[in-house]
Amino acid sequence: MAIIVNRPKLTFVERCYLPSILAGLAITWKHLKRALFKKGIVTMQYPEEKWDANMPEWYRGAPTLVSDEHGKDRCVACQLCEFICPPRAITIKPMEIPEGDQWRKVEKRPEEFDIDMARCIYCGLCEEVCPEQAIYLRKDYSITGLNRAEMVHDKKTLYKLGGVMKGLVFKWNELK
């Protein structure tokens, strides 16, 4: 069914444009005057002012590796994140945990764990797929580097960025 949209009948003054143009000019003038004295400015001066405090809990920033409050690095080098990562940003070189190590029963840990931040699309699939709750997208968003090599986060950087995450499932303990 056709919908009829009635166009409002404009009076002569309205069809002249000029009054409404003047009204518009008055409005923009008001803003100009206010902003000239640094009032009512809605933008932030980025590097000096940041919005970090208001970022939501679920913000997807740079992916990082976390350790838990018991001091255990959580990644077990299962490589699931490497496989799911759409742009193939993750490269893991697993290693066997040697005999006599406290966590020998875990069997594997990453020897190298690189995330190429020039490739990462911050999709969060790695976080979702990880069976060990080891990889989390944290709130860092200003990842910069002067060349491609600098954009690759290695294991050390990833653990540093990730830090300690409390309240995760306590899976690998002495008893289990």
**3-state secondary structure string across 51-64:** CHHHCCCCCCCCEE
Per CB under 8 A, the list member of 10, 13, 18, 121 interacting with another protein is: 18
Per this entry, what is the length of the chain?
176
Q: Indicate whether 32 belongs to the interface with another protein (CB under 8 A).
A: yes
Per CB under 8 A, the list member of 1, 3, 42, 149 interacting with another protein is: 42
Report the nearest approach of ligand SF4 to the CB of residue 99 (Å). 22
Listed ranges 42-50, 58-66, 139-147, 156-164: which one lies at the site for another protein (CB under 8 A): 42-50
Which structure tokens are listed for 146? 């002067």
Range list of β-strands (E), the chain: 63-65, 90-96, 108-116, 135-137, 152-153
34 versus 88: smaller Cβ distance to another protein: 34
Which residues on adjacent β-strands are paired with residue 116?
A: 152
Which residues on adjacent β-strands are paired with residue 73?
A: 67
Binds 163: which of another protein, ligand SF4, none (CB < 5-8 Å by kind): none
CA distance 40 to 106: 58
Per CB under 8 A, the list member of 40, 131, 145, 163 interacting with another protein is: 40
- By CB under 8 A, how many residues form the interface with another protein? 17
Residues that bind ligand SF4 (CB under 6 A): 63, 75-81, 85-87, 89-90, 92, 115, 120-126, 129-130, 132, 134-135
CA distance 107 to 85: 23
Which 8-state DSSP code applies to residue 149?
Answer: G
Report the nearest approach of ligand SF4 to the CB of residue 87 (Å). 5
34 versus 156: smaller Cβ distance to ligand SF4: 156
Q: Indicate whether 10 belongs to the interface with another protein (CB under 8 A).
A: no
**Burial group, residue 113, by CB count within 10 angstroms (0-12, 13-18, 19+):** buried
In three-state secondary structure terms, 19 is helix
- Give residues in contact with another protein (CB under 8 A): 18, 21, 24-25, 27-29, 31-32, 34-36, 40-43, 45
